Structure 1
Amino acid sequence: MTHRVHKTEKEIQEELHAIYQDQRGEMPNLRELDPMRSSQFRRVIIRVIGALAVLSLVSWSGFMLWTRGIFHTQKTLETSINGPREIRAGEETAFTIRYANTGAVPMAALEMKLNLPPDFTLVSAQPQATREKTWTLGSLTPGSDGAILLSGVFHSQVPSTSTLQAFFTYRPANFSSEFQDIQTATININQSVLEVAVTGPPKTLSGDDVIYTINVQNTSRASVEGATVILLSPNDFLLTKAEPAPTAPDVSVWNVPTLESGQLFAITLRGRYTASANGEQKMEARVSFLKDGVNLAQANATAITDVIGSTVAFHLVLNGSTEDRSENLGDTLHVSVDYKNTSDEVLSDVLFTLTLNPIGAKELPVVWDPTSLGGGIQKGNVITWNKTAVPDFARLAPDATGVFDLRIPLVESLDQSRMTDHFSLKLSVSFARVGSITKKHTIETSPMMVTLNSNLSTTAEARYYTTDGEAAGSGPLPPKVDATTSYRIVWFLTNTLHPLKETVVTTTLPSHVTWINRTETAYGTVSFDEPTRVVTWRVQELPANLGTASATFDISITPKTHDVGSFVKLINATSVETIDVITQARLTRSMESLTTELPTDQEAAGKGIVVE
């Protein structure tokens, strides 16, 4: 017979402790399943993370070693640009571009590209480039080197700086990637092979003939090409003759195709100072290289002349101005000539001459009226006042003064085949004796240019029928109360003299007029702004040979009872603004408002008054 042995709780706890205790004699947390498996998993994860970290570190280290060239403890390609860093513009200069393999392994696929500034002209290269500014140099063994010899000319502005750049690419034999090397040389151009000097009188009287000389010399050992001499003369200097003559008429510029080594190019200027010249006057000459249409300044020189004022003070004033002017056809030139004997001596046989000189072999666009020439005598394009016209001019006393006022009307329309659209006015005074000294002396003003503005004319029409008799409008004609009738508005611009730009034609629609979004024009655009009720025709450019341009837009009205028996206004007054491209003058025109009367529409004549 078996007896069940009853154990105390303490004995049970001791037995469980003996079964589950770990190697250190401690009880594990029995609430966690499989503690041994969890601990092993954690250790595996930690080891994987550590391995990845080590691998990443090795990879980055290798990358840094490769890209930063730590495996190459020295530079394998040595390059340089040898040559002067201070040069003279226009002088041929040599540069040597050197390269050497200083490494221990051969170098393959060596190539150099040359970047040159636009002001540098390459004269020669040894060896020749493989293709445009590129040299394919091939392989280079350890310790070997080479050079490219360049020769060229800087046609640069003085002073300035320019940059030469050599761009090398190569591949060491133990690498598959390309390496690069760049060499840059900065060149300072502070002098030029061209020198210039100006000589002239240190002192002169206004009106006296003077002579200036400009000398340009090539100081290099080789010839130079493309030199240009520019004269910057005072505003009050009148150039009467130049030897040799300028390259282009009316422009003080001389082009010198070639100057040999040491060659001198001389220009002689003859002229005189006008009545308004007084004090020190600066005559300046500038020599440049002309390259691709741009003048690159090389050197300049000046001569200072002290001009003593004349014995007669006089002025030419046109329409209130002493400056060049633009005028409209049909206007009148109001010319005023005033004078005063500012000397202490009597001036004998004084003669004033006003010359109107047309530009080109054409007639003046003026209408001569002998009664409005201020007492002057007209002969051709010249008006004179001598001692016959003005008795005081036989002996003009000190401090004597006077004024001539002239009116010279311009023609209403210009016949371009025989009339010029620009001309000059020049006033001169001469006298045979000053006191007891007999010497003819002549003094002139600077020419004053007059240019006619373009002959823009404008018209506006309202039509129901086109000029071909087709209906452009719709609805009853004559217009009826509470019925809608539409009309076409036509604007015309006629221009044949100068090109025009930024032309704007505008009008406003009365509140009772409805805009119909139907427009037509071959030039520019027609638009309508509803809030302001402004209709605008914009044309950016109108050529001189245009003839006539037009624009149309359609509108409609619905008359009311109070309109019966009257015409209805269709548009308000029209304004036109534009700019003459030649004179740069802003031209304005205006046109009256239009109604349903339609005076230019023969088909609709007499059908403009509103009926019931």
Structure 2
Amino acid sequence: MKSDIAKTEQTKQRFHHRHLPNFTRLTKFIWWKFSHLYFPIWIHFMTDKYEGRRHHLVVDIIYSVVTFILIAVNLAMGIWYYLYFVPADLELQIVTTSEVVSGEPMHVNVIYSNPGRDLKQATMDIYLPEGYIPGEQHNAHSLQHVELGSLPSGSSGVVTISGVVFGDIGETYDVRIIADYQSAGRTFYEAATHHFSVLKSSFELGLELPKAVVYGEPVEGTLVLINHSIVPRKNILLTLSAPAGFRAAGIDAGDSEAALNVFTQQITIPSIAAGQELRIPLTGIFIQPTSDEVVLGDLETEVRISGTSGVESEIIDSARLFDDGGKSNVVSLILPRVVATLKSPVALNFGFPLSSTITVRNAGNSVMQQVALKVFATGSALVPSRATAAVVKSGEREVSQSVTLNDGFLVLPVIEELAVGESATITLSIPTTILTTQNVSASLRVTGSVFAPLVDETIAIPAASSVTKFNSRVELGVDTVYTTPGGEQLGYGPNPPRAWEVTAYRVVMTLRNVNNVIAGTRVTTQLPTQVEWTGENSVSAGTELTYDESTRTVTWKIPALPPQSDAYGAQFEVWLTPNHLQIGQIPAITLDTKAVTTDAFTGSAILMSAGATSASGAVVE
């Protein structure tokens, strides 16, 4: 036991009195002071410094404990400050375009990076605008949720959202991102926003109109709609507007199911497929202003077509319509330079040619060239393929020539030039055929164009039209009958007639109406002096037969006669008493039979004559 104590004392003396290997004096001094302050127990056991001074050991131990506590507290406060007052960081950046085309693809790239401590349970919510349709690889919602998971310090990545964006032209929309993550048991949030504007639309609108049009004349144009997007459009609403009084009158919808509201000047189209182009013919008219505040004459105006449309999508409200902008066309409005008039008969009999006169006059203030007219002739009784025309200009008449029939129009000879105030006349003759149909009419409409060197444009000639109605074909017949063709004897007395003896005959009148209702028909005939009215007669129902003894006139009145295949009839009995001076002659039974009636369709009076009738043979002794 004494030997161990002696060894320990010897070791203390060696440590205290000798330098440690390779230590300099300064290093030994610093290490000694540090050890003395913070590790007094170790110094006590390794050296004899505290021999006989144990109270110093107690003080140094208290000092070192307090020092260690202070150091620990400071370290704990530093760690606590780092964990709770130095926030974790997740950098977010949205990379995409700032100007988009409505209906075209838009890619949203979200770049994230972690420059600080490790992050856990990181997620990202991407809020897309209402008109954004994500691609098939994403969920069909405007909110895209992305799980990032754990993000070590220094990690980064990119999240790409691909889809098609829709919006109103000129409006600004936002893409917003909110990310949350955890670090040291706490939840942190980061946000980023990107603004973009809709520059134009992929739904292209267009309106094709002539460069120059004439007030009051029909204008033919074409609505052009092209859906360049990969997404179908629906509930399309187009609006026409023009300050110079343009009014759309009709459209040729075809398969598009388009409809025009002439009151609101709006056109609705149910849908248009992706990549589809629609061309819809449109007709309209420019109404010439009449207000005293408006300067009348040639001017230029803009006709604008604007529209809105919906989108075939699950995530966009079906009632949401996006503004697709519009397109304007500049049109020159020109007062009529050449005026055309058309004169045709009001009523015409079947089989007679329809002869019409077309007069064109230069009402402008300059020479007009290449006056080209064409006539659209409609009517089942017309034979336009055999039409002819002749031009009279400056008193000189051209030889009649056949007219070209092109696409349903009769193309008239071209008038090369019209001086200021000069007129030209074209006589058009169209053959007709005989029909049995009712209420037949024919209409002519002359249109054309003329080149105006003053404005260097080919402009339209205001249209002129006419309507001709065809009179009903009414057939009048009268005959004197003794024996019918079937052998039935209707008369009595000698036949052939004998002088100074009475022979009775039956006079039969017929009236057949073919086409239109006729009214107020009067059929009259006179009896010669040798013929006497017996009073025996019969007529078709609704008609009346009378005899005026003073004038020896028989009158058959028919109030109204509709078109029918069967003829109306009237018959009456007469006595013939020839004298000896008429032996060898065939005496007359009735004089000329005449009829007059009014065509209820055409309003024209129709006159007919059937001539005289005579006995069945010459008078014998």
TM class by shorter chain equals 0.3 to 0.5
**TM-score where L is the length of structure 1:** 0.46
Name the larger-Rg structure: 2
